[in-house]
Amino acid sequence: VLEAEHRYIQKVVGVVALHADALESGTPPDLDLLSRVVEFIREYADRLHHGKEETLLFPALEQGGVPPQGCPLGILKHEHTAGRALVAELAGAVDGLRAGGEVALGPLVKCLQGLVELYPGHIWKEDYLLFPMTGKVLAADAQSELAAEFEKVDQDFGIDRIHGFEAWADASAASAVGG
Ligand SMILES: [Fe+2]
């Protein structure tokens, strides 16, 4: 489940990377796109996806004997916090641009590039370190229990909303590459 969500997050990070490049070469910021990016990262990546990790998976692993600090859980939690700070910065820049205020493009581009630098490495650590480790730490029944709890999180978040975010990630990645 979490790996599947990573694929959608990566698509959006790809869109962010292309937009950061475009801004650097003089294209004006696409405020609608940036607002959707903020919403996607806050809701889908952070509330839904990191929510599952921080409220369900990490505590289960800690119970299984994985230390809460250091490698890998402490680092991953720290990266989630860093991601939140970058998105807050991005949201502030987008609000400033919408209000017609003077927002320097340099910091906006830096913030987008910060997200592009943070997420792929973070996702790599989870796909190749955290999830394989989970398979060793948690017994099969604990894993299916976790899967059931994830499903409940999805229901609470709204299945249609999840599909909406995923469809938007697909569509914006396709259109960013296509044009
Ligand atoms: Fe993740």
Q: How confident is the model at residue 177 (pLDDT cuts 50, 70, 90)?
A: confident
**How much is the pTM?**
0.95
40 is written with which tokens? 């996607």
Cα 7 to middle of ligand 1, angstroms: 10
Cα 126 to middle of ligand 1, angstroms: 6
Cα 104 to middle of ligand 1, angstroms: 31
Nearest by Cα to 16 from 39, 42, 28, 34: 34
Helix, strand, coil percent values for the chain (each to nearest 5): 85, 0, 15
pLDDT of 104: 81
Cα 127 to middle of ligand 1, angstroms: 8
Residues near ion ligand 1 (CB < 5 Å) are: 126
For tokens 């790809």, name the residue: 14
Cα 160 to middle of ligand 1, angstroms: 21
pLDDT of 100: 83
pLDDT of 160 over the 70 cut: yes
Residue type for position 42? R
Taking only the tens place, the pLDDT of each residue in 91-129 is 999 998 888 877 788 889 999 999 999 999 999 999 999
pLDDT of 90: 96
Cα 23 to middle of ligand 1, angstroms: 28
What 3-state class would DSSP assign to 65? Answer: coil
Cα 103 to middle of ligand 1, angstroms: 31
Mention every residue, 6+ apart, whose C-beta is less than 8 A from residue 177. 14, 18
Report the half-sphere exposure of 68 (CA within 13 A, side-chain side). 6
- Please state, in angstroms and rounded to a whole number, the distance separating the CA atoms of residues 6 and 74: 19
Taking only the tens place, the pLDDT of each residue in 2-61 is 999 999 999 999 999 999 999 999 999 999 999 999 999 999 999 999 999 999 999 999
